[in-house]
Amino acid sequence: MDLNDTPEQAEYRQRVRAWLREHQGEAPPRNGSYEDTAYVDARRAWQRRLAEAGLAGVTWPKEYGGQGLGPIEQVTVNQELSAAGVPGILDVIGIGMLGPCLIAHGSEEQKSRHLGPMLHGDEVWCQLFSEPAAGSDLAAVQTRARRREDGGWALNGQKVWTTNAQFAAYGLLLARTDADVPKHKGLTMFIVPMDAPGVTVRGLRQISGEAEFNEVFFDDVALDEDAVVGGVGNGWGTALTVLMFERLTIGFGSESFGSPTRLSETVAADPAARRDPKVREVLGEIISELLAVRFNGYRALTALSRGQIPGPEAGLAKVTMVNAGIRAADLGADVLGPDALEPSSEWSYLISFLPGLKSAGGTEQILRNTIGERVLGLPPEPRLDKGIPFSELRAKEKEAVSR
Amino acid sequence: MNFALTDEQEFLREAARGALARHKTIEAARAALEDPGALPDLWPVAVEAGWPGLLIGEEHGGAGLGAFEALLVAEECGRVLASVPLLGLLPATAILNAAGAPALGELASGALRASYVPARPPGELEDGWTVEPRSGMARAQAPRAAVEGDEVVLDGAVAFVPDAPGAALLVVVGTDAEGAPIAAAVDAGAEGVRVETVVRYDATRSLGHVELRGARGRRLDVDEAVLADAWYLAQALIAAESLGAVQTCLQMAVAYAKERFTFGRPIGSYQAIKHELTEVLRRQENARGLQYYAGWARESGPEEFPLAASAARACAGAALDFAARANINVHGGIGATWEHDAPLFFRRAQLSRRLLGGTHDATDRVAERMLAGVSAAA
């Protein structure tokens, strides 16, 4: 048990810290609005600086411009960025999840065309998976890609919850290419240029009033034959690769919702709250859970650094984190009163943001299903969609609703 | 960064599991409810495995290991409800080892058995050292300790002391006239010492009410930090025991959920059951993360140990309560019958959460450490 760096890790940390000390003055603020073009441009430029310094794509192979290092080094970079008070890369989804999928499944042309501009922030990517009627049941996507006579594809449909779509250059899109086979089989992954004719991006305002996500519409968007990633009909397997890297990104423990220190400061500053047994009990429970997530993160990181792939149980950390965050924001607001709900309050954003986050990256219920089945080995729920062609399944669903 | 068990730690854990598996501890837990004499004497198992000397320095014949190893052994004991007196013993040996007390060799070899008579360090809401009362919520003052040279004269009572019955040496924490903590090693057979054996709800748990009336002991030369550490070590140990028991509850419930059918399918396929069991797993893993934190902190970050041990106790205590109830729930009515094993773990949960200050006190300590931390920084 050792939370300290090895001599090699310590040396790496020193190098990262030295670079940041020299260059942190060039960094934009950590927080800003992604609806503000100037802020997004500043974050792009900062990502380029990080990439040139070897602080982006830390775990990418060297041949694609990465550093070929391990998860510990990635976490070291995250920690040092955070300690320096500067933002990290803009395109977390591209570099963390979509780039690695291209590296695993893309053609040589796709890799040489796209990975460099992605790494340097010249071309930001978005993930076009979820749809209004396909979230937990992702394989139910209805966005349709039909083969044209010239071998290319015509794309029609709608995606939703798309982070960064408003300024992304490309998206990785899961579409149905064959509705006459069971639903997991008729899927294909595509690279979609976001400036193609027929692509419309619309901001999706949430409870807070901010538009952090988008809806994206595709109206007869023409895609070339070489837009396919990983082969026609192999979209589900390609999507699973992305989801595995999503778990890895969570494993790097880069995000936390609701700071234990800020919550404790809020309680400590109120003499009545500070001595209130109920407040103290809730505070103690929240802090215990957040500490558990932190130290389980170290366990997961150790496993990752030994080459183990994170399993679905990583989702438990997300469940704990989100629910503890909700309780933390609630307690902060209980102590401060209605002022906590004003937009100027630090708690207001969390209070508005967390209910939606419960569904992000897998709803709590879906995560519990997956973990129950894959980790505990419990039998799956009987399914009505197994082995049935997707078109037939949709017809049955429509009939059931109209009855 | 390396936050995983070493090969030696894995070996220690497997060895503990193997040694305990040779005894029918769970059957004994039920039999002991009607006949306390039915519990097997597991002290020879502990002695053979070297557990009494886990926290005693190698120069005194101990293993010189840390809390991490002690917690792994406690977890294995909890897994099978084995009544090995580690909860009383290990904090006692930690104090005696820090004091460089005589007889450490005898303690390490198991020839002499010691037990910790705990006192809870002062906190934000209570300023003195306090001990468990016989009943009610108001905690009693720690025994009065009058120092006379190398000796200490003790007066007071401490209720529900783990593993006090059968211990030859009591390591008592009292306070002097100024309220400062004083530790003393008292022979259990000395004049003015009375240990009343009590059995409550979970017959595998050895408890005693300790009364000291002018009892004389040898003063142990340790500072306040060592005595606070002993309290938090006991918190971490009871947390580890609880984590072990959680794992058995989960295994039992998962196995049953796979083989019990209703409406043509195994009950484990229903989300209502699956999600309840996943919640047990979530709490189990959180308790494990905090057990690692506590084990790490006592060696490498002692200023964090009170926070870590209290958080471990809070999470593990609540996890066991949840797991024991979920286990009964998944089994249905049969899980609430005398012949079933599930109630034995429920009994363990209900008593454990109310010993050594109780889980609520540990939760409050977590809040207190955080509040103190941010106040100090401000």
Where in B176-260 does DSSP place strands (E)?
Answer: 181-187, 193-198, 207-220
A251: pLDDT strictly greater than 70: no
Q: Give per-residue pLDDT as tens, A105-127.
A: 999 999 999 999 999 999 999 99
| B315: nearest CB among A9, A281, A288 | A288
Residue B272 lies in a domain: yes
- Name the residue type at position B319: A
| B-chain residue closest to A264, CA distance | B371
CB contact under 8 A, B287 and A292: yes
Residue B158, domain extent: 116-222
The total number of residues shown for chain A amounts to 403
pLDDT of residue A244: 87
pLDDT of residue A31: 86
How many interface pairs between A and B have CB atoms less than 8 angstroms apart?
187
Residue B1 lies in a domain: no
* Same domain assignment for residues B213 and B310: no
Interstrand relation of B207-220 and B130-131 (parallel, antiparallel or unpaired): unpaired
A257: pLDDT strictly greater than 90: no
* Same domain assignment for residues B370 and B230: yes
Tell me which of A4 and A193 has the higher pLDDT: A193
Distance from CA of A301 to the nearest CA of B (A): 8
- What b/e string do you get for A130-157 counting C-beta neighbours within 10 Å, with b at 16 or more? bbeebbeebbbbbbbbeeeeeebbbbbb
CB contact under 8 A, B278 and A301: no
CB contact under 8 A, A316 and B360: no
Q: What is the DSSP string of A70-86?
A: -HHHHHHHHHHHHHHT-
* Same domain assignment for residues B234 and B372: yes
First to last CA, chain A: 61
* Same domain assignment for residues B72 and B175: no
CATH of the domain at B44: 1.10.540.10
* Same domain assignment for residues B106 and B139: no
CB contact under 8 A, B277 and A380: no
B192 by DSSP, 3-state: which?
coil
Report the sign of the C-alpha dihedral through residues A38, A39, A44, A48, in that order: positive
Residue B330 lies in a domain: yes
* Same domain assignment for residues B246 and B320: yes
* Same domain assignment for residues B135 and B215: yes
- A125-236 fold: Butyryl-CoA Dehydrogenase, subunit A; domain 2 (2.40.110)
pLDDT of residue A255: 47
From chain B, the residues in CB contact with A260 under 8 A are: 370
B35 pairs with which residues across the strands? none
From chain B, the residues in CB contact with A283 under 8 A are: 366-367, 370-371
- Phi/psi at B136 (5° precision): 90, 180
From chain A, the residues in CB contact with B279 under 8 A are: 368
Q: Say if residues B115 and B162 touch (Cβ distance below 8 Å).
A: yes
Q: To which residue do tokens 């040589």 refer? A: A108
Least confident of A253-262, A313-322, B48-57, B304-313: A253-262
* Same domain assignment for residues B151 and B47: no
Residue B309 lies in a domain: yes
Q: Which of B181, B205, B222 lies at the terminal end of a domain, its last residue?
A: B222
| A285: nearest CB among B6, B295, B363 | B363
Question: Residue B139 gets which letter from DSSP?
Answer: P
Of A323, A315, A288, the closest CA to residue B293 belongs to A288
Alpha carbon distance A43, A32 (integer Å): 10
Residue B188 lies in a domain: yes
pLDDT of residue A258: 58
Of B23, B173, B155, B152, the closest CA to residue B88 belongs to B173
| A380: nearest CB among B269, B366, B373 | B269
Least confident of A16-25, A250-259, B263-272, B281-290: A250-259
Q: Give the H or E element holding residue A204.
A: strand A199-205
Name residues 309-338 of chain B within 8 A of A (Cβ): 310-311, 314-315, 318
pLDDT of residue A211: 86
* Same domain assignment for residues B291 and B323: yes
Give the model's confidence band at A210: pLDDT under 50 very low, under 70 low, under 90 confident, else very high: confident
Of the residues B124, B127, B276, B278, the best mutation for testing chain A's interface (the one with the most A CB atoms within 10 Å of its CB) is B278
Distance from CA of B268 to the nearest CA of A (A): 5
CATH of the domain at B237: 1.20.140.10
CB contact under 8 A, A274 and B371: yes
Q: Say if residues B181 and B150 touch (Cβ distance below 8 Å).
A: no
Asked if B370 reaches chain A (Cβ–Cβ under 8 Å), the answer is yes
Q: Say if residues A251 and A315 touch (Cβ distance below 8 Å).
A: no
Alpha carbon distance B310, B199 (integer Å): 26
Q: Give per-residue pLDDT as tens, B260-270.
A: 999 999 999 99
Q: Which of B78, B112, B146 lies at the terminal end of a domain, its last residue?
A: B112
CATH of the domain at B197: 2.40.110.10
Average pLDDT over residues A79-83: 92
Whether the domain at A7-90 and the domain at A256-374 fall into the same CATH topology: no
A363: pLDDT strictly greater than 70: yes
A250: pLDDT strictly greater than 80: no
- The CATH class that applies to domain A256-374 reads mainly alpha
CB contact under 8 A, A369 and B274: yes
B175 pairs with which residues across the strands? B144, B181
CB contact under 8 A, B290 and A372: no
Q: Which of B222, B242, B265 lies at the terminal end of a domain, its last residue?
A: B222
CB contact under 8 A, B3 and A378: no
Asked if A299 reaches chain B (Cβ–Cβ under 8 Å), the answer is yes
Residue B327 lies in a domain: yes
pLDDT of residue B378: 43
Q: What ipTM is given for this predicted complex?
A: 0.96
Report chain B's mean pLDDT, rounded to a whole number: 96
| Number of C-beta neighbours around residue B149 at 10 A | 6
Q: Say if residues B260 and B267 touch (Cβ distance below 8 Å).
A: yes
* Same domain assignment for residues B231 and B346: yes
* Same domain assignment for residues B176 and B310: no
User: Could you tell me which CATH number the domain at A7-90 has?
Assistant: 1.10.540.10
Average pLDDT over residues B52-79: 97
| C-alpha torsion angle, residues A131, A137, A142, A144 (rounded to 10) | 100
Least confident of A31-35, A215-219, A332-336, B156-160: A31-35
- Within 13 Å, how many C-alpha atoms sit on residue A5's CB side? 14
B11 by DSSP, 3-state: which?
helix
| Number of C-beta neighbours around residue A216 at 10 A | 27
Alpha carbon distance B283, B292 (integer Å): 14
Average pLDDT over residues A137-150: 97
Q: Say if residues B85 and B204 touch (Cβ distance below 8 Å).
A: no
Average pLDDT over residues B86-107: 97
CB contact under 8 A, B278 and A289: no
* Same domain assignment for residues B212 and B282: no
| B-chain residue closest to A6, CA distance | B1
| Number of C-beta neighbours around residue B190 at 10 A | 15
The total number of residues shown for chain B amounts to 378
Per-residue H/E/C for B326-358: HHHHHHHHHHHCCCCCHHHHHHHHHHHCCCCCH
Q: Which of A149, A246, A381, A392 is catalytic?
A: A246
Where in A92-136 does DSSP place strands (E)?
Answer: 125-128
Q: Give the H or E element holding residue A202.
A: strand A199-205
Alpha carbon distance A349, B227 (integer Å): 44
A380: pLDDT strictly greater than 70: yes
Q: To which residue do tokens 């190098």 refer? A: A15
Residue A281 designated active-site: no
CB contact under 8 A, B285 and A301: no
Going from N- to C-terminal start, the domains of chain A cover 7-90, 125-236, 256-374
Residue B2 lies in a domain: no
Q: What is the pTM of this model?
A: 0.95
Q: Give the H or E element holding residue A334.
A: helix A314-336
Percent of chain B having pLDDT more than 70?
99
From chain B, the residues in CB contact with A380 under 8 A are: 269
A231: pLDDT strictly greater than 70: yes
Q: Give per-residue pLDDT as tens, B222-275.
A: 999 999 999 999 999 999 999 999 999 999 999 999 999 999 999 999 999 999
Domains of chain B: total? 3
pLDDT of residue A254: 42
Name residues 65-84 of chain A within 8 A of B (Cβ): 72, 75
